[in-house]
């Protein structure tokens, strides 16, 4: 374990854990594998096109960071600040996001497979025109109010254990969406259906 050091992100070594480190800007396209970052401070905000394989990121801030067209395989985010982080046109396979602040997160036009958000704030996040592969996307706990699923087929999405007051979506792509009975009433009302007791 490497603790309390300042080093270049380029120097991150596969299989190593970095704890409370300060990571300076990478001079190359990022390709990280098997690295754990715990409570680290990243000076870099442009992570476009990077590859993150089997990485664990805990307690770090990526406010408004640009991860567009990046690849995340078997990664875990825990206790991170992801507000406004832009993952447009990214690929996420077997990614878990737990107990994170991710309001305004952008995953538009991305490909998601086996992605799980747990107890994560996703208020007004963007899941527009997302391509989902089995087993798809699940959201457990956390707040989804105002999230935008416009243009995304929802048959592989499970929101039944999440919270929201309203969502944006394409009505013709709702088929197969997993909801609980209270959420179904919210969706029905947004479609102009009069739900009575």
Q: pLDDT tens for residues 9-37?
A: 988 999 999 999 999 998 888 999 999 99
Task: Using the structure block, give the residue that is written with the tokens 């480190």.
Answer: 21
pTM: 0.92
pLDDT of residue 178: 96
Lookup: tokens for 174: 């709702």
- Asked if the structure places residue 151 within a domain, the reply is yes
Q: Is residue 105 domain-resident?
A: yes
Q: Does residue 179 fall inside a structural domain? A: yes
Is residue 6 domain-resident?
Answer: yes
| Residues contacting 51, CB < 8 A, separation 6+ | 30, 31, 32, 33, 70, 71, 73
The enclosing H or E element of 190 equals helix 181-190
Place of tokens 């000076």: 43
The answer to whether position 196 is within a domain reads no
CATH (domain of 114): 2.160.20.80
Q: Answer yes or no: is 102 within a domain.
A: yes
Tell me phi and psi for residue 184, to 5 degrees: -60, -40
Domain coverage including residue 186? 2-190
- Tally of structural domains, the chain: 1
In a domain, 195, yes or no: no
Where the chain has pLDDT below 50, the residues are: none
d(CA 136, CA 93): 9
Q: Is 111 contained in some domain?
A: yes
């Amino acid at each position: 374990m490497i603790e309390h050091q300042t080093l270049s992100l380029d120097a991150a070594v596969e299989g190593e854990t970095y704890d409370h480190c300060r990571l300076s800007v990478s001079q190359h396209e990022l390709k990280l594998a098997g690295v754990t970052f715990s409570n680290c401070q990243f000076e870099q905000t442009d992570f476009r096109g990077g590859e993150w394989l089997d990485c664990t990121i805990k307690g770090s801030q990526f406010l408004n960071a640009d991860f567009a067209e990046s690849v995340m395989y078997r990664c875990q985010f825990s206790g991170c600040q992801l507000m406004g982080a832009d993952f447009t046109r990214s690929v996420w396979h077997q990614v878990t996001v737990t107990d994170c602040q991710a309001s305004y997160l952008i995953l538009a036009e991305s490909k998601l497979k086996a992605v799980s958000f747990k107890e994560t704030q996703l208020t007004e996040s963007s899941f527009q025109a997302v391509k989902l592969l089995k087993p798809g996307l699940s959201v457990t706990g956390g707040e989804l109010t105002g999230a935008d699923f416009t243009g995304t087929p929802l048959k592989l999405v499970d929101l039944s254990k999440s919270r929201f007051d309203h969502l944006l979506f394409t009505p013709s792509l709702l088929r197969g969406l997993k909801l609980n009975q209270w959420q179904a009433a919210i969706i029905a009302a947004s479609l102009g259906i009069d739900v009575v007791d």
